[in-house]
């Protein structure tokens, strides 16, 4: 049972480039979310989804797009990378939106130069 899988583990981008961070879960979880973690800032919620076809914004959504075409996958897109998006990104999933613990992936470390 793989759980939550994030790819790539590391990525370096130049300012203005675009890329997609992949997240897949094999637990048939309805709820998925993306966080970024920066030193001194803790984890901040970027976007989340309560099911296929449904997404919503979190605390820091600007500069990021998401879609949820299947239950398993929840990719995070950076359309035009900026140095301020240098961070560690975590994807998480859970059974439901309420009263369910989150299962986290091991993160993608992104550097934008």
* 89 belongs to the binding site for another protein (CB under 8 A): no
Query: Do residues 47 and 33 make contact, with C-beta atoms less than 8 angstroms apart?
Result: yes
**Residue number with CB closer to another protein (17 or 86):** 86
Q: Which is nearer to another protein, 80 or 100 (CB)?
A: 100
Q: Which is nearer to another protein, 78 or 92 (CB)?
A: 92
CA distance 70 to 89: 21
Please state the length of the chain: 113
Q: How far apart are CA 31 and CA 48, in angstroms?
A: 7
Residues at the site binding another protein, with contacts judged by CB under 8 A: 4, 33, 35, 40-45, 48, 56, 58-59, 90, 92, 97-99, 101-107
């Amino acid at each position: 049972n793989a759980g939550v899988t994030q790819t790539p583990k590391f990525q370096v981008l130049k300012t203005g480039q675009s890329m997609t961070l992949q997240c897949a879960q094999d637990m048939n979880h309805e709820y998925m979310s993306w966080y970024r973690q920066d030193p001194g800032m803790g984890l901040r919620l970027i976007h989340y989804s309560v099911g296929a076809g449904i997404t919503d914004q979190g605390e820091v959504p600007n500069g990021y797009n998401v879609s949820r075409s299947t239950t398993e996958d929840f990719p995070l897109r950076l359309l035009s990378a900026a140095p301020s998006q240098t961070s560690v990104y975590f994807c998480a999933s859970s059974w439901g939106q309420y009263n369910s613990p989150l299962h986290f992936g091991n993160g993608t470390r992104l550097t934008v130069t």
